[in-house]
Amino acid sequence: MSNNKLSPDELTLYARHLTIPEFGMEGQLKLKNAKVLVIGSGGLGSPALLYLAAAGVGHIGIVDFDIVEESNLQRQVLFNINDVGHFKAKVAKNKLEALNPHIKITVHQVRFSTKNALELVRQYDVVADGTDNFPTRYLVNDACVLEEKPNVYASIFQFEGQVSVFNYLNEDGTRGPNYRDMFPEPPPPGLVPNCAEGGVLGVLPGIIGSMQASEVIKVITGVGEPLAGRLFLFDAANFTTRVLKIRKSPDTKIEGLINYEQFCGILPPGQQKPVKEVTVHELNELIIKGEDFQLIDVREPHEHAFANIKGDLIPLAGISNFPNKIERNKKVIIYCRSGARSAVAIRELENLFGLENLYNLKGGILAWSHEIDSSVPTY
């Protein structure tokens, strides 16, 4: 049931919106009656949620099952040091309600999955995707297409950000391009690191997340021209922008939800070919005893420069091009940040060259820092 009035307090709160001729009372009431689902309350979700709440979106849903960590605070401005260890969605709800008591916040403290995606998306008018991995991005996209909801997409990495509006309802009743029209297939697993592995400039999520909130507001109110059929690219390092056109593909067909981990080449642990492992304590013993082995770091050069436990640097993306750099007659221990990329590297090398002397460092450099040498910084 729509609400066609603003209270005296709301009139004061939204005064700067109401004085914009193209926006005015009509736009504000559209916001008041809108329901927006924000998936993720981290780097992108933090600024997007703050501005959507402040703007007066009447009902905001937050999907997030994660807890606040100290390393989040560099960019996730919705949280502070006192929130560390608490669930993000619950902390976000309390802070957004304090910012604007005239709106409703619903917490969905669950992992967004094929089991709940359609039901969650169905309850809202617009979805804002603030996720940071490919399986979930494809899942968000497909759920929005199947439920006929616009998907306001954003992503960030290091100095670069992207924004677009997918599955937008055009005036003629057709739908605009969706994420699969732009990226029909995901990149190979492990090739594109996430923000935890590759890093992100702290202010970048604020810039891109605010743009994402702006696009949500435009979709709801009809004010301005949303980024439908266009991809906005921003480079904070050089302060350059580009806008690329996205066209619908006749080959894009979405008939139901699928196994997105499998689609992106990520198999569940039980289905993956097991790799041999050594623990950080076993590696430390080898070092203390002066054993002869090779240590390889498959992270990116900037990660190695920030923190390493020595070893040869051979980034994952090109490791199969340098088989001659890998010893054949001694134990080879491969590590990354957490053990995920190094496991990918080992499977690739074993499949391509039949190597049998490769061992994954369980837990990666994070485990080394936590269990062996705390002077090695984590990120």
Active-site hit among 53, 336, 346, 358: 336
Which amino acid makes up residue 233?
Answer: L
> Does the active-site annotation cover 144?
no
pLDDT for res 221: 97
* Positions of the chain with pLDDT lower than 70, given as ranges: 1-2, 188-198, 265-273, 379
pLDDT for res 306: 84
pLDDT for res 253: 87
pLDDT tens across 164-221, in order?
999 999 999 999 999 999 888 877 665 566 656 567 899 999 999 999 999 999 999 9
pLDDT for res 301: 87
Active-site hit among 139, 156, 195, 346: 195
pLDDT for res 2: 63
CATH numbers and ranges of domains, the chain:
34-266 (3.40.50.720), 273-371 (3.40.250.10)
pLDDT for res 125: 98
pLDDT for res 316: 86
Distance CA 92, CA 88 (A): 6
Length of the chain: 379
pLDDT for res 189: 61
Which pairs from 317-325 meet CB under 8 Å and 24+ separation?
317/191, 319/345, 319/348, 319/349, 320/348, 320/349, 320/352, 323/349, 323/352, 323/353
pTM of the full predicted structure?
0.75
